[in-house]
Amino acid sequence: MSSNRTKKMLSADAVKRALVESFIKLNPVVMLKNPVMFVVEAGTVIVLLMAVFPNYFDSRERVGFNVTVFLILLFTLLFANFAEAIAEGRGKAQAYSLKKSKQEITANKLVGGSIVVVSSTELRKGDIVMVSQGEMIPGDGEVIEGLASVDESAITGESAPVIKEAGGDFSSVTGGTRVVSDSIKIRITSDPGQSFIDRMIALVEGAKRQKTPNEIALNTLLTSLTIIFLIVVVTLAPIANYLDIKLEIPVLIALLVCLIPTTIGGLLSAIGIAGMDRVTQFNVLAMSGKAVEAAGDINTMILDKTGTITFGNRMASELVPVGGDNIEQLSGWAAISSLKDETPEGRSVLEWMKKQGMSYDASLAEGGEFVEFKAETRMSGMDLKDGRHVRKGAVDAVKKWVAAQGGEIPSDLDQAAKQIASLGGTPLAVAVDNKMFGVIYLKDTVKPGMKERFDQLREMGIKTIMCTGDNPLTAATIAKEAGVDEFIAESKPEDKIAVIRKEQAEGKMVAMTGDGTNDAPALAQAEVGLAMNSGTIAAKEAANMVDLDSDPSKIIEVVAIGKQLLMTRGALTTFSIANDIAKYFAIIPAMFMLAIPEMGVLNIMKLGSPLSAILSALIFNAIIIPLLIPLAIKGITYKPMSGAQLLSRNVFIYGLGGVIVPFIGIKLIDLIVHVWI
């Protein structure tokens, strides 16, 4: 996570904004979305009316008690609203930082062969623009000509620039990013207000957040419990009257508020919003809370190979000398042939040599002329000032070139080339005039740390399947190096969808990561589709998550956050229901002790008086919500474990804790309240 994304959870500004929002959210229309807290608000209004109009409700002797109950219930509502507002506020702060990157940008629009400078807001889908070094990219688009290094730190928070080039899966560019070298021609792919940043702003603000199936089920449970306890409390009054026991309406409301699961009811929205916020902090944009929660139940992960598991470009990984020459000679000429070669393969030769600590005499190339790669020759290289000619290219093409100059082909050349090909690599021969020096082994390199990350997924019970269009031999080599569980070679887009549907038919939840247009159907089919930000527009639009860092192993963090969200919700639900037990022993004896002294045996906490018992239970019920806000937003620590272990952990820590903590809290509050009363 980049440092500029790190925020203090409860900063002064965030608290100030959340306090204002807490009062705004008291609107009954807003509260109606949360049935539990709406019932609390209805009770609060009734108690307020009884305090304001005591004569009408015949409650003149209870005005002070009624006002106290009203204030406690009001703070209960405000604390619940505060929890939700704090969670939403963090998303809005992220949106604000994104809005700062949406500054007015001028664009060099191509019109009839000439360049016209216009505002970025005037650009429309299909327009062609030129962006040069130091200029901002005016809108989302695809590179159709050229290659450039682009600084995407405004979006991803990462300072290292990325290479964007025409064609392939690395042509997508985002408005608000800056070109730091060279120039590119871009076709705009979105109209104003529909760019990637616009969608990010809307999403992190929570405007389109949907309740997840798990959250809906829990809401149904909480609503059902609320209705049941509402019926219990409503019928309790006539039953008590029949027994000549008078129960005050504020007391009944206090009982109802303490019986219904107000703790989890007040924190439920905050937990869901915080889940989306946490993935955003890992530079992953979740399109909905459903995607985050679904990640917590993933069983199978399908991965595209090129650009996802591997870098996507074949890179130098070994130098194989032939004909009795040594590796120093081969590396020297390989470097000379690659000095001015700007292709990924050419650059990778110099990078590999640098990592190996190999040196070469760059002065040999001074004054030389670079020979570009052509489809006809299938070679590139350098014509040196001293008359020598250095070539690097396809083995058969270089063999013909050497033979044409009267040179001999080493007997071990074909064997070296076949060995590289059998491993799924590409051999490039290196020669100088009529002498062959050796072969460069190019392969589609697995990204660093992938094997360890897949081991982690395996420990979490997630099966990994790599899909690639490569032949079975190459696919097997990459799969073994990456450490995936299974692989599918020579796969087409429909094959990826087929394997996803097969897993889903077996009742499994599937995640798919990819970056290409051919991955889009599979990304849309999977429960969790994680597209790489470096990928195509089609892939990002089909997915329900976008990884701004283009790191496929990020799915591990996403899965952990999804599981953490579920565990946090389960833990706090367990705590909420368990802490009602202590409230029963506080309020129920207090309600009946005066009329039925024998009920005093249930006053196991030895609370001071019926009034102090009721108020203490209400106060604890109110203050426990803000005390749990940090846990709801941060989430409980995720540790891989089975469902049975998780249940045991929740019951022991949050169930038992939910029983013990309220007994202690209510007793301590009663010691103060009883003196005050």
DSSP 388-453: -EEEEEEHHHHHHHHHHTTPPPPTTHHHHHHHHHHTT-EEEEEEETTEEEEEEEEEEEEPTTHHHH
What share of the chain has pLDDT > 70, as a percent? 88
Residue 437: band (very low, low, confident or very high) from pLDDT cuts 50, 70, 90: very high
With contact defined as beta carbons under 8 Å apart, do 512 and 525 qualify?
yes
Architecture of domain 123-191: Distorted Sandwich (2.70)
CB count within 10 Å of CB 584 equals 15
Which tokens go with 359? 């040196």
Q: Kindly report, as residue ranges, where domains of CATH 3.40.1110.10 are found in the chain.
A: 311-445
Cβ partners under 8 Å of residue 223, min gap 6: 35, 36
- The full DSSP string for 303-361 is EEIIIIIEEEEEEEEEEEE-TT--HHHHHHHHHHHHTT--SHHHHHHHHHHHHHT----
What does the pLDDT average to over 178-199? 79
d(CA 439, CA 635): 54
Which tokens go with 306? 């090129």
Q: Kindly report, as residue ranges, where domains of CATH 3.40.50.1000 are found in the chain.
A: 284-309+447-548
Residue 5: band (very low, low, confident or very high) from pLDDT cuts 50, 70, 90: very low
Phi, psi of 284 (to 5 degrees): -120, 125
Q: 311-445, what's its fold?
A: Calcium-transporting ATPase, cytoplasmic domain N (3.40.1110)
What was the pLDDT predicted at 418?
86
Binding-site residue numbers for Mg(2+) are: 515, 519
Domain 284-309+447-548 of CATH type 3.40.630.40: no
What is the arrangement of strands in the sheet containing 545-547, beginning at the earlier edge strand? Answer: 284-286, 545-547, 528-532, 510-514, 300-304, 463-467, 486-488
What was the pLDDT predicted at 2?
37
Q: Which of 166-175, 400-409, 453-462 has the lowest mean pLDDT?
A: 166-175
Which tokens go with 302? 């399908």
Backbone region of residue 197 per phi and psi (left: phi > 0; alpha: psi in -120 to 50; beta: other values): alpha
Nearest Cα to 439, choosing from 399, 494, 476, 407?
399
What was the pLDDT predicted at 3?
37
With contact defined as beta carbons under 8 Å apart, do 7 and 278 qualify?
no
With contact defined as beta carbons under 8 Å apart, do 139 and 175 qualify?
yes
| Mean pLDDT of all residues belonging to the chain | 82
d(CA 96, CA 100): 6
From 151, 304, 470, 547, active-site residue: 304
With contact defined as beta carbons under 8 Å apart, do 548 and 275 qualify?
no
Binding-site residue numbers for ATP are: 341, 345, 373-380, 392
Angle at which helices 35-52 and 249-259 pack, to 10 degrees?
Answer: 160
What was the pLDDT predicted at 208?
44
Alpha-helical runs (H) found in 157-261: 196-204, 213-242, 249-259
Q: Which of 56-65, 158-167, 255-264, 272-281 has the lowest mean pLDDT?
A: 158-167
Binding-site residue numbers are: 341, 345, 373-380, 392, 515, 519
Nearest Cα to 453, choosing from 301, 635, 291?
301
Output 413 or 172, whichever has higher pLDDT.
413
d(CA 188, CA 298): 36
pTM of the entire predicted model: 0.62
pLDDT tens track for 546-601:
887 777 667 778 888 888 888 888 888 888 888 878 787 788 887 777 667 777 77
Output 232 or 61, whichever has higher pLDDT.
232
What share of the chain has pLDDT > 90, as a percent? 15
CB-count burial class (<10 Å; 0-12, 13-18, 19+) for 631: middle
Looking at residue 228, its amino acid is I
Residue identified by tokens 């020669």 is 431
Q: Which of 40-44, 114-118, 313-317 has the lowest mean pLDDT?
A: 313-317
| Catalytic residue list contains 304 | yes
Residue 312: band (very low, low, confident or very high) from pLDDT cuts 50, 70, 90: low
Output 57 or 366, whichever has higher pLDDT.
366
What was the pLDDT predicted at 642?
64
Q: Cite the beta strand spans of 493-640 per DSSP E.
A: 510-514, 528-532, 545-547
